[in-house]
Amino acid sequence: MSIPKKKIENVRFDYDKSSIDFESIENSPFDLFNIWIEQAFEVDKENANAFVLSTVCENMIPSSRVVLMRGFDEKGLVFFTNYDSKKSKDILSNNNVSANFFWPQLEKQIRIVGKVEMVSKDISDKYFESRPFESKLGAIVSNQSSTISLNFDFKEEIKNLKSDFKEKSINRPKNWGGYIIKINFFEFWQGRPSRLHHRLCYNLNDNKWVASRKSP
């Protein structure tokens, strides 16, 4: 069953919830990011830190997936994953990535571009230790991005691991840890009426952030 073409074509509404005051913009994109992410948590505390991470493999084929931001400061944006995953293999061959946050309730979007590096083992260990027990087991059981049978059931695997680690601490697997995106570009997008959206960009030039406005 396909969605009627006219139904898709006729989905229309105007963006009118907010605007960007270009006369008094933040000097630092990190300050503006913090303001917007706080607003996002106010309207969607469960998904505000979710973003689309886009990578490119060695054959220049792009891939995108939703991941969770677990840290953010002027050093960069941190997320955690399996180092054997598809995204990690892409990063190994090309560490240029983009990240895209979209909060429809606010009609806001932030696009980020940067280069990825592994975080320290200490940072990965500390975050892994903070994870729920079941999530730690999941990191051990799942060989992320590998092909498995359609009827594969992880329940038995988890059940056995629960028994094995019942009274033991779970150490972080060596193939699991964090990455940090060293950001060199931000675009802050605010939906506006008549599709005349506000676009505020920050480029990192000679270690200084330079602001500019883009046409919608």
Q: What's the confidence (pLDDT) of residue 155?
A: 76
Indicate the pTM of the whole model: 0.90
Q: What's the confidence (pLDDT) of residue 159?
A: 76
- The 10s digit of each residue's pLDDT in 4-44 is 777 888 888 899 999 999 999 999 999 999 999 999 999 99
26 inside domain: yes
Q: Using alpha carbons, select from 183, 176, 175 the residue that is nearest to residue 203.
A: 183
Average pLDDT over residues 82-95: 97
Q: What's the confidence (pLDDT) of residue 110?
A: 98
Q: What's the confidence (pLDDT) of residue 6?
A: 74
- pLDDT at residue 156 tops 80: no
Q: What domain range includes position 178?
A: 14-130+174-214
Average pLDDT for the chain:
93
Q: What's the confidence (pLDDT) of residue 167?
A: 59
135 versus 203: the higher-pLDDT residue is 203
What span, in angstroms and rounded, lies between the C-alpha atoms of 65 and 50? Answer: 10
110 inside domain: yes
Amino acid occupying residue 13: F
Q: What's the confidence (pLDDT) of residue 69?
A: 98
Average pLDDT over residues 209-213: 98
Average pLDDT over residues 40-52: 97
DSSP string, the chain: -PPPHHHHHT------S----TTS--SSHHHHHHHHHHHHHHH-TTTTTEEEEEEE-TTS-EEEEEEE--EEETTEEEEEEETTSHHHHHHHH--EEEEEEEETTTTEEEEEEEEEEEPPHHHHHHHHHHS-HHHHHHHHH--TT----TT--HHHHHHHHHHHTTTS--PPPTTEEEEEEEEEEEEEEE--GGG--EEEEEEEETTEEEEEEE--
196 inside domain: yes
Query: Choosing from 131, 172, 195, 199, which is the catalytic residue?
Result: 195
124 inside domain: yes
39 inside domain: yes
- pLDDT at residue 129 tops 80: yes
155 inside domain: no
Tally of domains within the chain: 1
Query: Is 195 a catalytic site residue?
Result: yes
**Quick count: other Cβ atoms within 10 Å of Cβ 203?**
15
Q: What's the confidence (pLDDT) of residue 7?
A: 81
Q: What's the confidence (pLDDT) of residue 160?
A: 73
pLDDT band at 1 (very low <50, low <70, confident <90, very high): low
137 inside domain: no
6 inside domain: no
- pLDDT at residue 62 tops 80: yes
Share of the chain above pLDDT 70, in %: 98
Q: What is the CATH number of the domain that holds 96?
A: 2.30.110.10
